[in-house]
Structure 1
Amino acid sequence: MNSLTRMAALSFLIGLYVGCSPVKFSLDDSKCKDSGCVVENGKYSFNYSATAGYGKVDILIVNDNSASMSFEQARLAPRFANFIGDLDSRNINYRIGMVSTDVAGANKGALLSFGGSPYLTPQNADRLSLFNQTIQRPETLACEKFIANWIRNNGGNTSSINSSAYSAAYAQNCPSGDERGVYAANLVVNNNPSSFIRSDAHLAIIFLGDEDERSGLYCEQRNSNGACVKMSSQFAFDQMDQPGFLISNVKDKLGADKFNSLSVHAIVVKDQACLNQQNSQALDNYAPTTGLVSGSYGANFLAFTNQGWGMAADICSSDYTSQLGQIRTQITDRIKDIVLNCSNPTDLIVTVSGSPVSHHIDGKTLKFNQYLAPGTSVTLSYKCDSLN
């Protein structure tokens, strides 16, 4: 065999060996020290268990700030301490924002301030006191005092409020009496003030109120089942007042993932007994004002809970601890993301107790297509070309 033939044969054999041998990449093995991976066939390989159900949630509280709500606001304030404490104990990365039902003013749809911050997070050391201060609306209390003092100054004559002078003074001293909670929530979805709603967080909305949307005045006539069969011309709903529009608006504005994890809850007047209680309250402890500001059955807000979007609670409850606990459980049960060690991993296998779990990938985030209870152990196996 001549030298050229020998050289060609040698080159062929070398090429054959290289082509059939495992490809070696210069992956940094030291990166596996902290992340727990191993390097196999030129990829970072992971096999571990993670706990599902602890992630991000943005909680929007829609607070009825009209006259007659100060009593309920004061009772709810300390009960939310347990609600927030439960989120803290589960290491939930939360934001709590609040908006009023008054959408008539210049700041309609703006988040209420928590001592200068647009929302609360676990990093707010004084978050409980800030929440208590913010849920108890000063404009609500001032309005109630204004109404009571007006009647006091008119010798206890409640008919004195049927004057143009009273109407003008009311407009100066009170929030709008036209409560539009669903409308306010839609404004937040549309405008996302202070970037409150995060793209990768579950969204929960909680309505608080002793009156229905538009104080229930939107309906002139209901059937025996309580359904509105004749809408008022003066207080007719805009599409922004409609529960169905809020649900579709979340999907259109915020995306399918947000829609799939959305929950909507209502702490409102649920029955006739609660309505009777609301209609017997006195403003500023002044007896002549008893029943002057009435409540209404929260039908529009309960439409969300009746369709399975969340929990309904009674605003007349003597102790909100259990009801808020149920709402908190529903909120945390819907948090279902796990952050992986790389974007778009290959050979991904996800199981719970040995059974596959339906999921999809968004960058580095593993999103489950079903709700997993907090604390669920998920087994993960996948490979990464690089760690990022």
Structure 2
Amino acid sequence: MKKNRNLVLVLVLMSILLLGFQNCSQARFSSTDVSKNTSLNGIVNQKSLTFSVIESKNARADILFVIDNSGSMAEEQAKIAQVFSGFIAQVSNMDWRIAITTTDTSSSDTPCNEGNLCLMEPNRYFIDASTPDVNQVFMNKIQVGTQGSSTELGLTAISSFLTNKKSDYQAFMRPDATFVTIVVTDSEETSSLTAVQFLENVKAQLPQGKKFINHSSIVLPGDSACKAINSAEDKYAFKYHDVTVATGGISASICDANYGSQFKLIADTTIGKVAQQILDCAASDVLVTGPSGEIISGYGISGNKINFSPALENPGDYKISYTCAP
């Protein structure tokens, strides 16, 4: 009788194990799971990135420039002014508004601080296509000076602007327009605010359905030459870069001699085209698929960037699958 019980117990255990393996075989892994798979030789690092191309017809954008106004930024402010007319020409077919704030979140008397918008015209916090002599107005206002705090907090400034919802917010922001931020700084966000916390706050503060894109002209992570130029010890802009990648924006180098190319990419993205995406590495085994599953072939790889030529315009969701070396 005891032997029979043991036999029954063994059979039950085998049934449980078999059922367990069958259930495991039905598991499905997300792209995040796949990126963590390991092999005998190390990490496989298979990754994927999904992004969207939006319909540009009748598009609207509320564009907020967040400018570093610390003592080292006069040259960079002038570079933005030099390329503005080309930027505006590219977005001329959409309904755009542009406002400016700074990375200074101190309580000093510096204009445009704590996430408050600069006054662009008398009684007006933004410019648009109706602004007389719009190029000259922007060129004057974007050069916000270099008397701001040396603690540059661009993400904190954006968060304050969205959270406080002062009269400048009410005047500038439209519920049906894409919210676009363009951060230009030679420093990292040194507050305790993480990229994830920032994105969660933006989502909570924006009207439901309002799209958000962040672009950054920064000391790119790993760009030691740019870091040396800026004497920016421990100031690779990881947080800005992470926010930019997460929102499908353009992450460019603040050390570029001319900002024409990076602002062309920013304009393309703003009007609905996608000319570039940032990957986690210098990728290999790249496969790009379009909204209908079609294979996209018109691209080149440069470091950790994938550049599309011509820029992607067909609206829908795209996926990039690629491999990073162990």
TM-score computed with the length of structure 2 as normaliser: 0.61
For the Cα contact (< 8 Å) 1:182–1:242, is it kept in 2? Answer: no
Q: Confirm whether residue 179 of structure 1 aligns to residue 122 of structure 2.
A: no
**Which has the greater radius of gyration?**
1
- In 1, Cα distance between equivalents of 2:203 and 2:233: 35
Change in Cα spacing, 1:327 to 1:204, as seen in structure 2 (3 Å) is: same
Where does the alignment leave 5 or more consecutive residues of structure 1 unmatched? Answer: 1-50, 141-173, 215-235, 280-292, 336-351, 354-372, 377-388
SS of equivalent to 1:95: strand
Distance 2:261 2:61 in 1: 21
Distance 1:134 1:52, change over 3 A: closer
The whole-number CA distance in structure 2 between the counterparts of 1:276 and 1:314 is: 13
Hey, what does 2:265 align to over in structure 1? 326
Q: Displacement of 1:305 after TM fit?
A: 2.6
Match of 1:133 in 2: 140
Closer, same or farther: CA 63–295 of 1 in aligned 2, 3 Å: farther
Going from structure 1 to structure 2, the CA distance change for 1:334 and 1:97 (only over 3 Å counts) comes to farther
Identify unmatched segments of 5+ residues in structure 2.
1-54, 275-290, 293-311, 316-326
Number of the residue aligned with 2:217: 267
Q: Deviations over 1:124-180 (max 9, x none)?
A: 021111111111123x1xxxxxxxxxxxxxxxxxxxxxxxxxxxxxxxxx3211111
Matches within 5 A, 1:26-45: none
Q: Find the partner of 2:208 among 250, 256, 261.
A: 256
Q: Report the 3-state secondary structure (helix = DSSP H, G, I; strand = E; otherwise coil) of the residue aligned with 2:72.
A: coil
Q: Which structure has the highest helix share of the two? A: 1
In structure 1, the residue corresponding to 2:226 is in which secondary structure? helix
Other structure's SS at 1:275 match: helix
Which residue does 1:67 correspond to in 2?
Answer: 71
Q: Which amino acid aligns with 1:203?
A: F
Question: Structure 2 matches for 1:41-52, cutoff 5 A?
Answer: 52=56
Against the structure 1 CA distance between its residues 298 and 101, is the aligned structure 2 distance closer, same or farther, given a 3 Å change threshold? same
1:197 paired with 2:149, answer no
Deviations 1:255-276 (A, max 9, x none): 3311xx2111110111111112
State the one-letter code of the partner of 1:181: G
User: How far 1:294 moved relative to its partner?
Assistant: 7.3
SS at match of 1:213: coil
Question: How far, CA to CA, are the matches of 2:266 and 2:165 in structure 1?
Answer: 23
CA distance in 2, matches of 1:295, 1:53: 43
Task: Label 1:119 to 1:298 Cα distance change in 2 as closer, same or farther (>3 A).
Answer: same
Verify the 8 A CA contact 1:262 1:309 in the aligned structure 2.
Answer: no
Residue 181 of structure 1 deviates from its aligned partner by 0.5
Q: Is the 8 A contact 1:53 1:334 kept in 2?
A: no
Question: How far 1:245 sits from its partner (Å)?
Answer: 2.4
**1:112 counterpart letter in structure 2:** C
Relative to 1, partners in 2 of residues 1:326 and 1:52: Cα closer, same or farther, differing over 3 Å? Answer: closer
User: CA offsets, 1:63-92, max 9 Å, x none?
Assistant: 00001000111112111221112111xx21
- How far is 1:243 from its partner? 2.1
| Cα distance between partner residues in 1 of 2:153 and 2:56 | 36
Alignment of 1:38-187 (within 5 A): 52-88=56-92, 91-105=93-107, 107-116=113-122, 117-138=124-145, 140=146, 174-187=147-160
Paired letter, 2:177: A
State the superposition RMSD in angstroms.
Answer: 2.7
8 A Cα contact 2:56 2:272, kept in partner: no
1:109 and 1:187 in contact (8 A); partners too:
yes
The residue identity in structure 2 corresponding to 1:209 is T
* CA–CA distance in structure 2, aligned partners of residues 374 and 316 of structure 1: 29
Counterparts of 1:268-287 in structure 2, within 5 Å, are 268-270=218-220, 271-279=223-231
